[in-house]
Amino acid sequence: MIPRYITDVDLSQLPRVRTDVVVIGVGIAGLYTALQASEFAQVMLIGKKGLDDSNTRWAQGGIAAVTAQTDSPALHLKDTLVAGAGLCSYEAVDVLVHEGPERLKELIEYGTNFDKDEQGQYELTKEGAHSQRRILHAHGDATGAEIVRALSERTRQTDQITVLENHFVIDVVTRQGECVGVLVMGPDGELFFVESTATVLATGGAGQLYRYTTNPDIATADGIAMAYRAGADIKDMEFIQFHPTVLHFPGAPRFLITEAVRGEGAILRNIDGERFMEKYHPQKELAPRDIVARAIISEMERTNSAYVYLDITHESEELIKHRFPTVYGFCLQYGLDMVTDWIPVSPACHYIMGGVQTDLHGETATKRLFACGEVSCTGVHGANRLASNSLSEAVVFGHRIVQRIKELPPLEAVRPLAFVRERKMTAIQTREQRIRLQKLMLRYVGLKRNEAGLKKAMAEMEKMLALFDCQSREKEAYELLNLLTVATLATRASLLRTESRGGHYRSDFPDKDDVNWRKHIIQSIDGGVREEVELSNVE
């Protein structure tokens, strides 16, 4: 039901641009990879909005890397494997923990200013499931914004990088199973073809699958859907992370309350004021995110409440304002003072552990097509991402992608291609259908799932796909089809995995089943669905 290309076009009739490397997405993965590639190649960097609009900008907590004498790559590896619930790739995690510190130095060289203490040493914090303080942060709780500032400034100063803001990539273009570039729509709706030796997807995640999300409105699963249509493998889409603590207050948007608040001592209380996490996990508030999120939902259901409280009032005013100026200032806008008030919170969609399957150099099953950041599935996160590993993953594998691109032979000139879809489809109201999809995902493919609900969601999504049309060439219509595509992948995988693990919880199969399900679900547009056993034997 999902077409190979989502619009009809003849490349011979379109303007054509040639570059060495095209990078799609302007978060940390896209900016860093573009900068690295610009040292030897001409790069085109394409952003759906401006350079400041990405998931990275909203990352509060920080970046995890071993820098302290008391820490070690072995400890970081162990913490990551435990959080990943048996589905991390040992090799990928080993790459992350050993190469992360060097990539962190490069971020600093690019101009990122991480927070330091009075002695000039980098301040380190601790988040859920980390055994050590190893997370660097900037401006207290504005780490992502500082990284984006530094990288985007350097990008604008780099002559080898051409930046296209407010441009939308419709599809990855392939020839005989090899990526040869991308079809792009400009801000006025004009189409053109970018021909490239290598294409890097750094488009972020799929938070807009859900009504309640910490993601900005640009997170519409574009990269995953494009890669799927282009023949790449999509892996582990059932594992969706809900952040446990997102502001839940009348009139306020769903604003992320960073996990570092709990890392600095905040506790969770139910509507009756009772601390409850000791009932659910020995690490209490610092248990892995999936456990904390489900514990909160359980307490909300038990007490018939829409939220629980996050309480850090026992810590000093100085610490709260110094470490969390962004969160403190935002809450204060709505009359909530973290120094004296308990903050009402509930879970919301935050991060997709699954995505476009890559090897250890970021390459997908489609030759010359790479993926980096949240759009990818490198194997680092397994079934549940360890807090603050995502920014490290982006730069570690961005660097590896660039090293692989150096080895690619030049691309031969692409002869004119024409895309004609096999069927025409009926136009639909994109806004209404997007809300309908988000409601389906929240109700049936959220924190708690079961067979009946998943089957109902799948049936409804298939009906929506059958009515779809992109003839209007509107960005919103393309985004909806991308969301629908990825929603079906996530729902199908959730239905197949008859166990509970990490970010996937089945109320009808509440236990983890290592005998039958220590494996991955991989979906491809040509090959259907297959399973791969996870060979890593360390958890």
Alpha carbon distance 5, 164 (integer Å):
22
* Integer angstrom CA distances of residue 503 from 78, 271, 487: 19, 25, 15
Radius of gyration of the chain (CA): 22
Inter-residue contact 235 to 377 (CB < 8 Å): yes
Classify 417 in phi/psi space as left (phi over 0), alpha (psi -120 to 50) or beta: beta
Specify whether 289 is catalytic.
yes
Alpha carbon distance 351, 386 (integer Å):
11
Alpha carbon distance 374, 261 (integer Å):
23
- Residue type for 325, please? P
Alpha carbon distance 123, 143 (integer Å):
12
Cβ neighbors of 152 (< 8 A, separation 6 or more) are 26, 31, 51, 52
- Residue type for 335, please? G
Among the residues of 200-288, which ranges form H helices? Answer: 222-229, 260-263
**Which is the catalytic residue, given 57, 289, 400, 518?**
289
Beta strands in 276-421 (DSSP E): 308-311, 343-352, 355-357, 369-371, 376-377, 418-419
Alpha carbon distance 208, 231 (integer Å):
23
Q: Which of 260, 265, 292 lies closest to 124 in space, CA to CA? A: 260
Alpha carbon distance 214, 348 (integer Å):
7
Among the residues of 210-345, which ranges form H helices? Answer: 222-229, 260-263, 289-303, 317-323, 325-333
Helix (H, G, I), strand (E, B), or coil: what is residue 201?
strand
Alpha carbon distance 1, 190 (integer Å):
27
Alpha carbon distance 380, 233 (integer Å):
16
Q: Which of 84, 75, 78, 85 lies closest to 133 in space, CA to CA? A: 75
Instruction: Write phi, then psi, for 233 (nearest 5 degrees).
Output: -85, 140
Residues noted as catalytic: 289
